[in-house]
Chain A
Amino acid sequence: MSGGVDSSVAAARLVEAGHEVVGVTMKLWGGESDTGCCSVSDVDDARRVAQQLGIDHLVFNFGDDFARDVVGPYVAAHAAGSTPNPCIECNRHLKFDRLTRRARALGFDAVATGHHARIAPRPDGAPGLARGADRAKDQSYVVHVLVEDGLDRILFPVGDSTKVGVRAEAARLGLRTAAKPDSQDVCFISSTGGRRTFLGDRIPLRAGTVVDTAGRPVGTVPAVELVTIGQRKGLGLPGGGAPRYVVDVDVAGGVVTVGDAADLLTDRVRVAGWAWSSAGAPTGPVLVQVSAHAAPRAARIDGDDVVFEVPARRVAPGQAVVVYDPTDTWVLGGATVA
């Protein structure tokens, strides 16, 4: 229970269904932060909802795990020029590993979260991971790591509902979180300091040279570690002319290469660490989503490459690619852009 509306309603539904439920809030981050599930006021909200539902509420301090498995790799990845999704790593290492292991040890059958995703029998009968009913709020992308293993011990009680429906139910139940805004940002980075301050406190940020595709210097950036593939602004380029985008970042060399939109296009993305559902790697046409809210694109899987039907903008290293079936319903697998 993060203190948000989705996990509040998830807990309420499980109580209503007659389960023995205990609410847990993970304390993950002790540093300066004003969003997400780490602040004392969010813990207060979670506890007050649990009290209202008549269930116990516990706070588990997984701060050391979070620092080691999420924040550390996030910082290291930026230093190496890649842009990871920390929410996916938090799901992988904390919610769906650390927490589920503890829950099992304490005698619980399942861990439920407020994610908008569904776990249901696939056409072949095995448990499958599917998009949430509310396509606009679907979070199957960030929970895709479950597809390989672990679906049998996870519940998503609000995955069948729309966000509007969840809020309405929270309001009907009189839950204090009914109108609480969705959390948007990386929970351990404060909106005042931002990514720049957070990373700048942890790694040396170095200025970089911006060059065009012919290697000619055209601008500078204050911190090459903060530049992302596809970025258009903050590159110190003179105005006018065709828009130019970051097409390559060489952190070690301190060089950012910019080009026009066409230079950014590619039909092939190299990935690492495929995790597939029990059905294995798909051989036919699939849909591939490359960020939390991007539209899925038609593609096929060729070993460690995703080959898109229509070339599109390059994807930054460190991002997750998630593979869906052609009906855009079932998660088939996922990997990280190399």
Chain B
Amino acid sequence: MPVYLDHAATTPLRPEALEAMLPYLRDHYGNPSGSHTLARRARLAIDEARDSVAEALGCRASEVVFTGGGTEADNQAIAGVLAVRGGVAVCSAVEHHAVLHAVERAGGRIVGVDDRGTIDLDRLAAELDALARSGTPVGVVSVMLANNEVGTVQPLEAVAATVARHTPGAVVHTDAVHATPWIDVARAAQAAALVSVSAHKFGGPKGVGVLVVRDGTTVAPVLVGGGQEHERRSGTHNVAGIVGLAEALRRTVAERPATVARVAAQRDRLVAGLRASVPGLVETVPAEAKTAGNAHVLIDGIENEALLYLLDRAGICASGGSACASGAMEPSHVLAAMGVPRAAAFGAVRFTLGVTTTDADVDAALAAVPSAVAQLRRGAP
């Protein structure tokens, strides 16, 4: 098996999550919206999963809306609020495209960040004031808890306080998809009325997520139909997926302090080793400002497409941070917003560690990267 250092893209399914899911893929196949024995069995699983997720995310069970993933949750947070309240959407320039494109599509406003990727609270305040002065109501403000590319943790409480001060009444949403493995979402996202989570980023299955909708906030559904999830998300429940999400989240939260400590040490060793062995390599955001598993670096004079191929051949799975539909690397909007020059952004490589990362994985990367960079700089093997 290759060395997997792309946990921000997706994570391996936790064995416990798989075990929890299997009965619902085999025997308990009932539709939880029904009334007979098999349906009730599935309903029980959904209800228990909802309680478990609510505890892990610091909300009430009634506030948990199961979705088809993080992108759907983010889309609903933006479009669902605007549909109910009107007004414009505002987000940071480093949001995941699931938020950014939803805000752009609604004609919203984008607020810049500093060179670490942290939202500029003064610019946020100025943008909100300008909208208020022009008589434009602000429907929703979306700022992610942590960035998926460079790992930057955002000051969400300060964002919420800024929103409350300048445009009271606007709904605050946070995309906690990348943050969940690393940050206590229950506490850190308390100030947000809407919170997005995606199962496959913390050892759950793909295609299932959560939008927390706190009591007192109303979001319109994006999908209509059978009226599941209290009319907030129609569609037959992904029972096995929801069970897997809940089990993976429960384990993630229980193990989180130990995971963060272990992975942060591995990450620090990886980055220190790379900086010592690869000339012209810098860590994009300093460790104290970001999530524990993120080792995003910029390598001078290197094209990440070429480097990632050589690393793949050496058995190392890493990422450039952003790719388009065809699979080609695209210069990152996150790095551009941080003021990283376009040429330097082509040298971006994102190693992301996770629960299953071993010290041997770090050793393998430390062995492979310097020689691959040297080969590319020579222009020949």
Q: Report which A residues bind B (CB closer than 8 A).
A: 25, 27, 30, 40, 43, 47, 58-61, 63-64, 101-102, 104-107
Measured in the bound complex, the distance between the Cα atoms of B381 and A59 in whole Å is 21
Is the beta-carbon distance between A43 and B380 smaller than 8 angstroms?
Answer: no
Given contacts A40-B326, A105-B379, A106-B306, 6 further A-B contacts (CB under 8 A): A59-B327, A59-B328, A102-B303, A102-B306, A106-B309, A106-B381
Measured in the bound complex, the distance between the Cα atoms of B327 and A60 in whole Å is 8
| Of B310, B326, B328, the contact of A106 (CB 8 Å cutoff) | B310
| Of A27, A64, A106, the contact of B324 (CB 8 Å cutoff) | A27
Is the beta-carbon distance between A61 and B380 smaller than 8 angstroms?
Answer: no
Q: List 6 A-B contacts (CB under 8 A).
A: A43-B326, A58-B327, A59-B326, A61-B330, A105-B380, A107-B381
Is the beta-carbon distance between A58 and B309 smaller than 8 angstroms?
Answer: yes
Measured in the bound complex, the distance between the Cα atoms of B189 and A243 in whole Å is 77
Is the beta-carbon distance between B325 and A105 smaller than 8 angstroms?
Answer: no
Chain B contacts for A25, CB-based, 8 A? 326
| Residue of B with least CB distance to A47 | B327
Does chain A have a CB within 8 A of B236? no
Query: Chain A's nearest CB lies how many Å from the CB of B340?
Result: 15
Does chain A have a CB within 8 A of B278? no
- Most chain-A CB neighbours within 10 Å: which of B305, B325, B329, B342? B305
Chain A contacts for B35, CB-based, 8 A? none
Does chain A have a CB within 8 A of B376? yes
| Of B325, B330, B379, B381, the contact of A101 (CB 8 Å cutoff) | B379
Is the beta-carbon distance between A61 and B329 smaller than 8 angstroms?
Answer: yes
| Residue of A with least CB distance to B372 | A106
Chain A contacts for B342, CB-based, 8 A? 64
Chain A contacts for B381, CB-based, 8 A? 106-107
Query: Chain A's nearest CB lies how many Å from the CB of B224?
Result: 30
Measured in the bound complex, the distance between the Cα atoms of B378 and A61 in whole Å is 21
Measured in the bound complex, the distance between the Cα atoms of B336 and A84 in whole Å is 34
Does chain A have a CB within 8 A of B375? yes
What 3 A-B pairs come out closest when comparing CB atoms? A61-B328, A27-B328, A107-B381
| Residue of B with least CB distance to A22 | B309
| Residue of A with least CB distance to B312 | A56
Known contacts A58-B305, A58-B309: A104-B326 contact under CB 8 Å? no
- Most chain-B CB neighbours within 10 Å: which of A25, A40, A58, A106? A106
| Of B306, B327, B376, the contact of A43 (CB 8 Å cutoff) | B327
Is the beta-carbon distance between B326 and A107 smaller than 8 angstroms?
Answer: no
Chain A contacts for B306, CB-based, 8 A? 102, 105-106
Known contacts A58-B309, A60-B305: A105-B328 contact under CB 8 Å? no
| Of B324, B329, B375, the contact of A105 (CB 8 Å cutoff) | B375
Query: Chain B's nearest CB lies how many Å from the CB of A2?
Result: 12
In the complex, chain B residues 317-338 whose Cβ is within 8 Å of any chain A Cβ: 324-330
- Most chain-A CB neighbours within 10 Å: which of B324, B325, B326, B380? B326
Measured in the bound complex, the distance between the Cα atoms of B326 and A43 in whole Å is 6
Measured in the bound complex, the distance between the Cα atoms of B307 and A58 in whole Å is 12
Is the beta-carbon distance between A61 and B375 smaller than 8 angstroms?
Answer: no
Query: Chain A's nearest CB lies how many Å from the CB of B147?
Result: 22
Chain A contacts for B310, CB-based, 8 A? 106
Is the beta-carbon distance between B328 and A104 smaller than 8 angstroms?
Answer: no
Is the beta-carbon distance between A61 and B325 smaller than 8 angstroms?
Answer: no
Is the beta-carbon distance between A61 and B379 smaller than 8 angstroms?
Answer: no
Chain B contacts for A107, CB-based, 8 A? 375, 380-381
